[in-house]
């Protein structure tokens, strides 16, 4: 939705800088002040669970950023063979941590002593100067004075994290105060780091030295570079290549407080304004391994329904029902696939959640429209913002007050302003709120049978700042001017250490007060929790409550799109990258952000296709749909003030859409199987190239191409006026997915300039792959019923042939995505060649679902094969098929479009199209032929 930060077509940053300069806010100092001498480890022993538990004592007290916490508890545990936890907190007082019921994990054991009390004799062993605690793959080393620790990889001795401090270092030793925590790690110069989001990174997917990385959920549009945006993900992946051997690991600091992270190229420093230091180290060693380990801990990505991989259309400004009726019909007339139509707040009565505008969206007419599109197989999703309008005639608000569900300030519901005017914010940390929210969703779905919910503005966004009251005699909002201008009477809150902490994170890139345009950080949640601590988990807590509500209503698989995210949000919701611009730069940035969210465990992600605002050019929209058709979440979304930009508005864009989305809809079985892979292993759907080629350091910063799964590479045009694209090809054989007779063969990593006319996007599939495809269609429901084709890709010019693929099919209405429930089928496909014979076969698990659906394979396309004599032998469940004469084949010689390998011209390889098949997907088959 349109951000409160859009005061003009430009960023709010300049205005904020002016305001903050006037009120005297200091900016980030470039001078590093040394803060104390760190801590000393004075005792340590083994904990009952097999870990280590120790006591740290501050070496030298100071008052910079507040008083030091004198004693800290250290807890270290190898939680699995590939996960190590290092937890540091106050030894005496309980401190804020990410709630254990939101992100489930083990509670550290107690210290078993009173600090400063009775003798600790026999409780703790004597401390040696240096020691280690070894696990299966990770080793924890510590030094006692000053205390520091390192984490090493056992297999090669490489140090992954090292918190030791030298006098020459630009950072401090361990600092632990109530509102300021600092810890650093040394890093090798050749490390490649990824993550630390959400932000828009102009330099690409790698974390760039000396760029600012501030983590604090903020309603700041994605057009702002190097700035804290909607989500907070304090994790990074470190990929290192030593002598051609690549190893990846992940470091997570599980902390929801605001923080600055400073990466200097050879070190990384965390400066956090509260909470605890709760580190998790995941050993990898491959990128896929380490994301598997990470999502195993934070929660596997949510299973998405099949239809959600279709194309989505949205706009803020569909003023009445007739407009969206026209949009749906115009997509159909233009022969552009469309699965989901969305409403921003236009459907609401006075912009209030869970209501319908009786004039513009009369319920009988809307229900008739939904009956029509549901019969077709389409879906309908609407927006929900967290702010509940303060209105005594509004049932949602009345029930909220009655159930005491709102965040408080000085005992009263905290007053803010969003689209309906004055609002209160639900407190999703309160169990009663979760029940109330679920009941309101139930009531709304009885009013309108929506198919999913879009939870927006949940950073949380507030058009005002400070402590506000509703002015007497004034209607708010006023009805004149932009709706995001504050019209409440507000005063600054600066008299608490929460609203004015001693250390100022680089919020909004200018050290804006952390309560600026959000909930005051001294406001109170359930059980006395301060907004200061819980701010960045608001979106996660709302996603959990919304997921619980939707799944509980009909027992179906929910679809939720959330703007604000935190560690673990992908377990419940999809994400889009927020308010972007219709510019070539923003098109380029979108790839980086999408790839980053795959690392964060949120694989169902996309950007607003063609840009949210202002109007894109026709050429840009052509190129954007060619990229967006391969985002995991593919949606066109535009701003109220921008001209219409549905894909049929320009004939050239419609042609590009038919081309790119046509391929997406053929690939829906592949996308959906990647959805299953993501749900079971955490594997990103859209991935950087290095995920499949981790030993090639030249790929570590490639941000203009990406992979869908392990084998489909998208190489889009990202520059104005270009009709060709310079693409980087890893070694091997690549086939053009739009024209499978075209092949590229490289022995080494090579750039190649490819033709890319306006309506063409280059998509290639790698060797050794078997991809399931269907005929496609105008909607996923109909595309899903069409026969299958298997595309088998072989390495050109070699007899060493092995290809693999898989396919997952299920009833996507079911909340769980798994085998063994009678409503799913999983198939492995294999192809090998030996002694001049090619063999292709399937191995089916849980066959009943696919058999009941009647799905079958009508065609096999083999790329890179030698000529054949057509002597096919086909067995299904061990029995020869009755009539092999209906099986026909044709061959076309491949065209090699590059001259990177002198041997290419000497090869003769074929595309073989085997058709006339009727192989049931639910039965094992074996097909063989002479090469």
- Angle at the Cα of 105 (from 99 to 107), degrees rounded to 5? 80
Q: 8 Cβ partners below 8 Å, 6+ apart?
A: none
Active site residue 456: yes
Contact 55, 44 (CB under 8 A): yes
Residue among 228, 238, 579, 677 flagged as catalytic: 579
What are residue 673's phi and psi, to 5 degrees?
A: -65, -35
CA atoms within 13 A on the CB side of 874: 20
Point out the catalytic residue in the list 459, 531, 636, 646: 459
- The reply to whether 169 belongs to the active site is no
Task: Return d(Cα 719, Cα 623) in angstroms, integer.
Answer: 9
Are the C-beta atoms of 601 and 682 separated by less than 8 Å?
yes
DSSP 851: H
Write down the residue that tokens 């605002």 correspond to: 613
User: Six-digit token pair at 368?
Assistant: 């008739």
Give the separation between CA 229 and CA 217, rounded to whole angstroms.
6
CA distances from 304 to 301, 559, 678, 855 (A): 9, 7, 10, 21
Residue 755: count of CB within 10 angstroms of its CB = 10
**DSSP state, 524?**
B
For the chain, the distance separating the N- and C-terminal CA atoms, rounded to the nearest angstrom, is: 57
Residue 579 bears catalytic tag: yes
CA proximity to 232, closest of 251, 250, 254: 254
- Contact present, 51 and 77 (Cβ < 8 Å): yes
Q: Which of 344, 385, 456, 846 is catalytic?
A: 456
> What is the total residue count of the chain?
931
Rounded CA separation 775/767 (Å): 22
Q: Are 579 and 314 in contact (CB under 8 A)?
A: no
Which of 428, 512, 457, 426 has its CA nearest to residue 219? 457
Q: What is the DSSP letter of 129?
A: S
DSSP H or E stretch at residue 541: helix 538-554
At 267 the three-state DSSP class reads strand
Q: What is the 3-state secondary structure (H, E, C) of 544-578?
A: HHHHHHHHHHHCCCCCEEECCCECCHHHCCEEECC
Compute the distance between CA of residue 806 and CA of residue 45 in angstroms, rounded to an integer.
49
| Strand pairing category for 802-810 and 879-880 | unpaired
Which strands make up the sheet holding 388-389, listed edge to edge? 388-389, 421-424, 416-418
Query: DSSP letter string over 15-46?
Result: HHHHHHHHHTPPPPPSSPPP----EEEEEEEE
Compute the C-alpha angle 554/556/559, nearest 5°: 120
Query: Of the candidates 86, 57, 103, 44, which has an alpha carbon nearest to the alpha carbon of residue 185?
Result: 86
Distance of CA 557 to the CA centre of its chain: 19
Of 195, 197, 221, 232, nearest in space to 540 by CA: 232
Paired sense of beta strands 895-896 and 181-186, if any: unpaired
Contacts of 179 (CB under 8 A, 6+ apart): 65, 66, 273, 274, 497, 501, 502, 503
Of 177, 178, 170, 213, the C-alpha closest to 193 is: 213
**Other C-beta atoms lying within 10 Å of the C-beta of residue 396:** 20
Pairing of strands 856-865, 706-708: unpaired
Residues labelled catalytic:
456, 459, 579
């Amino acid at each position: 939705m349109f951000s409160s930060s859009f005061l003009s077509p430009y960023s709010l940053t300049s205005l904020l800088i002016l305001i903050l300069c006037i009120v005297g806010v200091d900016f980030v100092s470039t001078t590093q002040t040394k803060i104390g001498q760190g801590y000393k480890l004075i005792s340590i022993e083994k904990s009952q669970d097999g870990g280590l538990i120790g006591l740290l004592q501050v070496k030298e007290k100071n008052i910079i950023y507040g008083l030091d916490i004198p004693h800290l508890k250290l807890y270290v545990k190898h939680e699995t063979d590939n996960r190590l936890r290092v937890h540091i907190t106050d030894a005496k007082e309980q401190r804020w941590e990410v709630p254990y019921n939101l992100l489930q994990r083990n509670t550290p054991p107690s210290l078993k002593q009173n600090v400063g009390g009775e003798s600790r004799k026999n409780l703790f062993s004597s401390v040696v100067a240096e020691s280690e605690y070894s696990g299966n793959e990770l080793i924890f080393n510590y030094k006692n004075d000053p205390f520091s620790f390192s984490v090493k990889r056992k297999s090669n001795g490489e140090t992954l994290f090292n918190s030791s401090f030298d006098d020459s270092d630009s950072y401090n030793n361990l600092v632990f105060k109530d509102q300021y925590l600092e810890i650093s790690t040394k890093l090798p110069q050749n490390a490649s780091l990824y993550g630390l989001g959400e932000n828009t990174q102009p330099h690409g997917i790698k974390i760039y030295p000396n760029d600012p990385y501030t983590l604090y959920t903020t309603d700041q549009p994605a057009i702002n570079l190097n700035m804290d945006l909607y989500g907070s993900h304090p994790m990074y992946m470190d990929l290192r290549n030593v002598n051609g051997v690549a190893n990846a690991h992940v470091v997570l600091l599980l902390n929801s407080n605001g923080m600055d992270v400073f990466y200097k190229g050879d070190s990384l420093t965390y400066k956090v304004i509260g909470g605890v230091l709760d580190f998790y180290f995941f050993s990898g060693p491959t990128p896929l391994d380490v994301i598997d380990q990470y999502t195993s801990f934070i929660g596997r990505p949510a299973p998405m329904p099949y239809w959600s991989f279709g194309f989505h259309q949205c706009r803020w400004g569909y003023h009445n029902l007739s407009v969206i009726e026209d949009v749906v019909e115009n997509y159909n007339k233009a022969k552009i696939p469309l699965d989901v139509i969305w409403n921003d707040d236009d459907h609401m009565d006075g912009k209030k959640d869970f209501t319908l505008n009786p004039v513009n969206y009369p319920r009988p007419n809307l229900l008739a429209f939904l009956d029509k599109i549901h019969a077709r197989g389409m879906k309908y999703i609407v927006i929900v913002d967290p702010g509940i309008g303060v209105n005594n005639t509004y049932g949602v608000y009345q029930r909220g007050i009655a159930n005491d569900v709102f965040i408080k300030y000085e005992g009263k519901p905290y007053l803010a302003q969003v689209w309906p005017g004055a609002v209160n914010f639900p407190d999703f940390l309160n169990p009663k709120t979760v029940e109330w929210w679920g009941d309101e969703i139930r009531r709304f779905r009885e009013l309108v049978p929506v198919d999913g919910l879009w939870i927006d503005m949940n950073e949380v966004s507030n058009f005002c700042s400070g402590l506000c009251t509703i002015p007497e005699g004034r209607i708010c909002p006023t009805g004149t001017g932009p709706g995001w201008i504050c019209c409440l009477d507000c005063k600054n809150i600066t008299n608490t250490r929460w609203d004015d902490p001693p250390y100022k994170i680089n919020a909004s890139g200018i050290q804006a007060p952390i309560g600026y345009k959000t909930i005051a950080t001294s406001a109170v949640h359930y059980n006395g929790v301060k907004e200061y601590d819980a701010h960045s988990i608001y979106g996660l807590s709302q996603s959990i409550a919304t997921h619980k509500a939707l799944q509980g209503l009909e027992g179906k698989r929910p679809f939720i799109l959330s703007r604000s995210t935190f560690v673990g949000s992908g377990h419940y919701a999809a994400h889009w990258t927020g308010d972007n611009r219709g510019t070539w730069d923003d098109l380029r940035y979108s790839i980086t952000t999408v790839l980053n969210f795959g690392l964060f465990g949120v694989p169902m992600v996309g950007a607003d296709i063609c840009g949210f605002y202002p109007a894109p050019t026709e050429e840009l929209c052509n190129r954007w749909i060619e990229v967006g058709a391969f985002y995991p979440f593919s949606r066109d979304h535009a701003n109220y003030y921008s001209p219409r930009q549905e894909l049929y508005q320009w004939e050239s864009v419609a042609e590009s859409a038919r081309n790119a989305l046509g391929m997406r809809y053929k690939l829906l079985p592949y996308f959906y199987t990647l959805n299953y892979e993501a749900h079971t292993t955490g594997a990103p759907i859209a991935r950087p190239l290095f995920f499949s080629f981790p030993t090639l350091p030249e790929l570590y910063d490639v941000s203009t191409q990406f992979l869908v799964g392990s084998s489909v590479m998208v190489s889009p045009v990202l520059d104005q006026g270009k009709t060709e694209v310079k693409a980087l090809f890893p070694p091997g054989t690549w086939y053009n997915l739009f024209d499978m007779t075209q092949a590229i063969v490289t022995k080494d990593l090579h750039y190649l300039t490819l033709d890319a006319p306006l309506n063409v996007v280059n998509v290639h599939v790698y060797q050794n792959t078997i991809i399931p495809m269907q005929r496609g269609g105008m909607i996923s429901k109909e595309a899903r019923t069409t026969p299958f084709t298997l595309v088998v890709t072989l390495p050109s010019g070699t007899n060493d042939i092995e290809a693999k693929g898989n396919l997952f099919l299920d009833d996507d209405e079911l909340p769980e995505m798994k085998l063994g429930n009678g409503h799913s089928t999983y198939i492995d496909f294999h192809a090998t060649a030996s002694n001049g014979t090619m063999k292709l076969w399937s191995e089916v698990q849980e066959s009943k679902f696919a058999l009941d659906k009647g799905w079958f394979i009508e065609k096999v396309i083999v790329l890179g094969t030698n000529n054949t004599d057509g002597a096919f032998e086909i067995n299904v469940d061990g029995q020869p098929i009755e009539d092999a004469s209906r099986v026909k084949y044709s061959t076309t010689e491949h065209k090699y479009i590059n001259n990177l390998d002198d041997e290419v011209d000497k090869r003769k390889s074929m595309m073989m199209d085997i058709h006339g098949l009727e192989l049931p997907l639910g039965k094992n088959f074996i097909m063989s032929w002479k090469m």
